[in-house]
């Protein structure tokens, strides 16, 4: 089995979290993709996020039309800083023989060596990098791990899924909402309805 894992804040969930992963599935042949909303991301501890309840709900709504996409509450239920190594240890214990790919964007490459227990992470999973073709930023010490997607094993490789990305960010969406601008072209329709129904990200909203 090949499993793609996509962790993130998803504040809110948008098309940049969805469309590139569906496209990359053609190359990386994932049998399933699991989205895992973080309780608190280590690199985003200085910013308040919408509640885990809302972020989980938006991720479920954004993926519900695709049978191969799942959403897990593991990190939210754990209720602590969401370190990738801890989540992968749990996943690997449950799927000992699976190929597990931790999905990241190429904007994360430069900071990979800052991840907690990066060496252990690479014994548990591969990194699948969503990119338009650029590989700049990957630390030199990790270059030897770059592998063709078809040749990767269960863990330890870095593979690049060269597919179109969606130029949108959660920050831009929150700013649009605060400014009263439309977001319907940036998020799946059920997510847009959920945001407006619950008054998320408006000025003065908690």
Residues 49-108 pLDDT 10s: 799 999 999 999 999 999 999 999 999 999 888 899 999 999 999 999 999 999 999 888
Query: Which CATH number applies to 2-198?
Result: 3.40.50.620
Tell me: the pLDDT tens digits for 104-146? 998 889 999 999 999 999 999 999 999 866 678 899 999 999 9
Residue extents of the structural domains in the chain: 2-198
Residue positions counted in the chain: 206
> CB burial class (10 A; 0-12, 13-18, 19+) of residue 7?
buried
Cα–Cα distance, 164 to 72 (Å, whole number): 26
Q: What pLDDT does 206 receive? A: 47
| H or E element that contains 202 | none
Q: pLDDT confidence of 177, banded at 50, 70, 90?
A: very high
Q: Is the pLDDT of residue 147 over 50?
A: yes
Sheet holding 2-8, edge to edge: 69-71, 32-37, 2-8, 99-105, 126-131, 158-162
Q: pLDDT confidence of 204, banded at 50, 70, 90?
A: low
The 10 Å Cβ neighbour count of residue 116 is: 12
Please compute Rg for the chain using Cα positions.
17
Which DSSP category does 81 fall into?
Answer: B
Q: What pLDDT does 52 receive? A: 94
């Amino acid at each position: 089995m090949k499993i793609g894992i996509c962790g993130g804040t998803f504040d809110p969930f948008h098309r940049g979290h969805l469309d590139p992963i569906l496209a990359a599935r053609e190359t990386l042949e994932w049998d399933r993709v699991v989205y895992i909303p973080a309780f608190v991301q280590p690199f985003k501890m200085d910013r308040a996020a919408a509640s885990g309840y809302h972020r989980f709900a938006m991720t479920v709504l954004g993926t519900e039309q695709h049978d191969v996409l799942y959403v897990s509450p593991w990190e939210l239920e754990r209720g602590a800083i969401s370190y990738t190594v801890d989540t992968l240890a749990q996943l690997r214990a449950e799927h000992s023989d699976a190929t597990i790919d931790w999905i990241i964007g190429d904007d994360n490459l430069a900071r990979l060596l800052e991840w907690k227990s990066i060496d252990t992470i690479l014994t548990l999973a591969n990194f699948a990098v969503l990119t338009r073709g650029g590989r700049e930023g990957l630390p030199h010490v990790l270059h030897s791990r770059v592998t063709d997607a078809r040749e990767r094993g269960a863990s330890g490789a870095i593979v690049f899924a060269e597919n179109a990305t969606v130029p949108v960010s959660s920050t831009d969406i929150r700013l649009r909402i605060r400014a009263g601008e439309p977001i319907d072209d940036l998020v799946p329709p059920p997510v847009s309805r959920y945001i407006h129904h619950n008054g998320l990200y408006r000025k003065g909203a908690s």
